[in-house]
Amino acid sequence: MVMESTAKVVLGCVAFTIFWVLAVFPSVPFMPVGRTAGSLLGAMLMVLFRVMTPEQAYAAIDLPILGLLFGTMVVSIFLERADMFQYLGSMLSWKSRGSKDLLFRVCLVSAVASALFTNDTTCVVLTEFILKVARQNNLPPQPFLLALASSSNIGSSATPIGNPQNLVIAVTSGISFGSFLLGIFPAMIVGVITNTCILLCYFWKHLSVDKERDQESAGGGGQDVVVADEEVTSHRFTPARMSRANSVNGDADYMNEPIRRSDSMSRGADTLRSKSYNSEGDRDIQVAIRSLRASSLSQEMVEVSTVCDRRDEGPRKVTRTTSRQRSVIIEDAPEPEQTLDGDDKEKPDQEEVVKHKKWKVLVWKTAVYLTTLGMLVSLLMGLNMSWTAITAALVLLALDFTDAQACLEKVSYSLLIFFCGMFITVDGFNRTGIPNALWELVEPHARIDSAKGIALLAVVILLLSNVASNVPTVLLLGTRVAASAGAISPASEKKAWLILAWVSTVAGNLTLLGSAANLIVCEQARRAQFHGYNLTFWSHLRFGVPSTIIVTAIGLIIVVSY
């Protein structure tokens, strides 16, 4: 591609620079409009400066990539509602054998989850849970937060749906899901293990501190807050970018969290008072369930009060049911020996209602998991990835049997708009001829038919991914790297795409700004209530530089030998 006129080159560079500054530093003082508005501004300037026509701008938007991104977002939302991430989080603390075992679990779970559900989603839903587990065990949060962010980036490289740049590579190159997985999965496994070993070596002393000494220091007025077991197991995952929590369990996760009782509660004339006693003599209690009518058809709380009364001042127990969408979750009450007069007919009916609704929830969750599994199998069979993801999303919306508005509101449309603006801006910058001229200088020395060329190509991708971000890097270099490798052989072209996917993804671990997943972990940890932690730029850099270089080099050897 020849260079455009001087005016177009200068104006195109100005538009791309504005886009880059707002994408990398979304809160710059002179224009704190954010990444999405920054990408639209760059796209608009490309058209206003006549670097490209409006028709060329519309043609630059890659609809298959947007469709695949939308479909995977909807599937991830339904998996979050079906408590998939809660189950993954429970695996972290289940029969843990110490801090090092916990660190290994964080690396493994976050890597696998990122490969299947994208790295951003994994970081959003697991950050706060990992913080709670670390605080509960009096462990420093830093190694576990770094393990989550770095392993999520490495794990997301294994599949085309693991991160946005892989989506671009898979759609542009035409590489099937199975071939992509076979090409990078071995490197991902070795990379995760290597990254875990680096974390263990780097934080060995911190993870080997005697727990009793930590408890004494924590009791001496430190800032760390230790969280009770009950609070950890009852944590509910609510991605920050979602408009409102809409889990199948409603507003409160009463399946896992026992109701906190108070000595006296008053909720008006129609609300019963309840007490809870813990004496040993209150073993044989009598239970009856009374239902109260819902005050409106909208999302309101319905309390079903269970009165346990063995004698005049016997114990009483309250069981609450939350009804927001279609599911009612009720805490199991102990089996009574006797019932109050007049309530023996109500109790079987209530139990049947509760049992029926629990079965509905179980069937719905099973349908979500089976649909997701069907999507993954279809992708492995080589079906069109974009339409497969969209079909899975529509099946889940249909199975929900409710208005889809509440679920679709959770989709990150700002990310989709950001991609639209980025496609236009990067295509306009390509039309100036500058990327092509720079690549012609590097291309003779960066061929993948030699070890020296592969190393130079990896360095260029790594640096550009941290300067211009990984998705624009893939858009700028993808077709050029593939064309250069295609001149050698068709197999080399496929290998070049896989190298680009591996290096551009792992490069996100170099700095805190290198990946959106890093920023999500940092912000989620900083804003966490009661147990927040500030992961600084330099603390990440000290670990990120050696980890990125070592993991990239080892994985690159495996990918090239594929």
For residues 519 and 346, the model is more confident at: 519
Q: Return the pLDDT at 329.
A: 36
Q: Return the pLDDT at 553.
A: 95
- CA-based nearest residue to 190, from 559, 554, 562, 561: 554
Reported as a single tens digit per residue, the pLDDT across 250-289 is: 333 333 333 333 343 333 334 333 333 333 334 333 433 3
pLDDT-based confidence at 346, cuts 50/70/90?
A: low
Q: What phi, psi does 249 have (nearest 5°)?
A: -90, 5
How far from chain centre, in Å, is Cα 137?
24
pLDDT-based confidence at 228, cuts 50/70/90?
A: very low
What share of the chain has pLDDT > 70, as a percent? Answer: 74
Reported as a single tens digit per residue, the pLDDT across 349-399 is: 777 777 778 888 889 999 999 999 999 999 888 888 899 999 999 999 998
Report the C-alpha gap between 447 and 457 in whole angstroms: 7
Residue 246 has pLDDT above 60, yes or no: no
Q: Return the pLDDT at 206.
A: 77
For residues 313 and 393, the model is more confident at: 393
pLDDT-based confidence at 315, cuts 50/70/90?
A: very low
Q: Return the pLDDT at 193.
A: 95
pLDDT-based confidence at 187, cuts 50/70/90?
A: very high
Q: Return the pLDDT at 406.
A: 86
Which residues have C-beta within 8 Å of that of residue 244, sequence separation ≥ 6? 406, 409
Residue 562 has pLDDT above 70, yes or no: yes
Q: Return the pLDDT at 280.
A: 35
Report the C-alpha gap between 380 and 116 in whole angstroms: 12
For residues 75 and 357, the model is more confident at: 75
Report the C-alpha gap between 239 and 164 in whole angstroms: 18
Report the C-alpha gap between 247 and 33 in whole angstroms: 31
- CA-based nearest residue to 389, from 68, 170, 116: 68
For residues 140 and 186, the model is more confident at: 186
Q: Return the pLDDT at 209.
A: 60
Q: Return the pLDDT at 272.
A: 31
The whole-chain average pLDDT of the chain stands at 76
Q: Return the pLDDT at 468.
A: 79
Least confident range from 94-98, 379-383, 387-391, 555-559: namely 94-98
Q: Return the pLDDT at 374.
A: 93
Q: Return the pLDDT at 531.
A: 66
User: Is the distance from CB of 514 to CB of 465 less than 8 angstroms?
Assistant: yes
Alpha-carbon distances, residue 46 vs 402, 438, 478, 526 (angstroms): 42, 20, 21, 37
For residues 393 and 520, the model is more confident at: 393
Q: Return the pLDDT at 155.
A: 94
For residues 33 and 484, the model is more confident at: 484
CA within 13 Å, CB half, 325: 21
Residue 319 has pLDDT above 70, yes or no: no
Report the C-alpha gap between 331 and 305 in whole angstroms: 11
The letter for the amino acid at 45 is L
Stated pTM of the model? 0.69
Report the C-alpha gap between 532 and 515 in whole angstroms: 21
Averaged pLDDT, 485-497: 90
Q: Give whichever of 2-6, 22-26, 198-202, 344-348 has the largest mean pLDDT.
A: 198-202
**Whole-angstrom distance between the N-terminal and C-terminal Cα of the chain?**
32
pLDDT-based confidence at 530, cuts 50/70/90?
A: low
